Amino acid sequence: MTESPKHLLDTTSEAPQRPSKIAKTTTESEDEEEQQQQEQSVKPTNPNPRMQRYLVAIEYIGTRFSGSQQQLNCRTVVGVLQEAFHKFIGQPVSIFCSSRTDAGVHALSNVCHVDVERISKRKPGEVLPPHEPTVVKKAVNHFLQKNEGDVTVIDVRCVPADFHARFKAKERTYFYRLLSGPESLSTFERDRAWHVPEELDLLAMQEACKILVGHHDFSSFRAAGCQAKSPMRTLDELDVSEVVSNPYFPSIIERRQNDQTQEDLHASSNTSETDLPLSSISIDDKARGFDSGTDLGFGIRRRHRCFVVKTRSRSFLYHQVRLLVGVLKAVGTRKLTIADVERILNAKTVTAASPMAPACGLYLGHVKYDLP
């Protein structure tokens, strides 16, 4: 359960395909029906007209958290955020997240809501007009930075009293980072990605995505303890691409090649930059330091290849994304075939899937709403 990328690459001479996507259907899936039922059962928790509900977007590094949800005697994202709000307004608050993330999972943008009543500190009992969102953002970040600084508020908006961060979400996007290569993982990348020593076959992984995208019974990608009523889910997008591995800064050669490729792409089509597939830009391996035969010079680290799995859906099952990535990684290392992926999906039991990917590479990327 972050946290977004990126200078883009292509590792093959073949033209990359567009990310695997499916068209929206008019028939409601089981997970949408389940979520609508939950939304209808939720009543506004702030009947007090003096309360203001805020929608708060946050980013965090999940390494030192025991997950996002509040737990006794554990450091959690919600716990730290509630503490910062308490220090800001002088009274306790309850915070509700759109998406629960496990220990070690990061967020580029998770969203929560909180109800705040602004009471004068000079005249206790006197209710003042609600704080402006910009004031909330600045003040809460001030206190967050005093508590490890691994959570930051990135956006705040006033919303109606019945707007629920979880049940009003229309879509969630996750990213998963894999670093491929025999070199030991950089200190800067530790707990930020899954290190895979073997080479990964990008095209094979992309083919496997085509099997998994769409509306399916994902029982094989549902961990024990999942509380969802139905295993049916719709993956609107599932794709794997190669990107430049941060935190390395692009060289002059990389920047020039990237700029030239962008100019060529724009000259040959009207596609906007944001619509381009992640793997549509190619940079020479030697310039990036991936070629094992290249002498990079003393003290210059040889880079890993960085692959990003992107998946998008209205809702996910417990550990679904990490189980999907585990299978895709096995395909990339040639331990599974495309036929094996179909077999695992049709088996409808989690025991058929490959080992689950570790939490450290997973980032909650974005939560989409129809905002009032």
Query: Considering only CA atoms, which of 76, 118, 84 is closest in space to residue 100?
Result: 76
- Which residues sit opposite 66 in a β-bridge? none
Q: Exactly one of 102, 191, 217, 285 is catalytic; name it.
A: 102
| SS3 state at 330 | helix
C-alpha span between 118 and 306 (Å, rounded): 46
d(CA 95, CA 164): 11
As a whole number of angstroms, the distance between CA 342 and CA 42 comes to 38
133-144 and 77-89 helices, crossing angle to 10°? 120
Rounded Cα gap, residues 333 and 339, in angstroms: 15
Pair 61, 106: CB distance under 8 Å: yes
8 Å CB contact between 243 and 308:
yes
Distances from the Cα of 292 to the Cαs of 11, 186, 297, in angstroms? Answer: 15, 17, 13
Q: For tokens 């997008």, what's the residue?
A: 237
Specify whether 217 is catalytic.
Answer: no
Residues catalogued as catalytic: 102
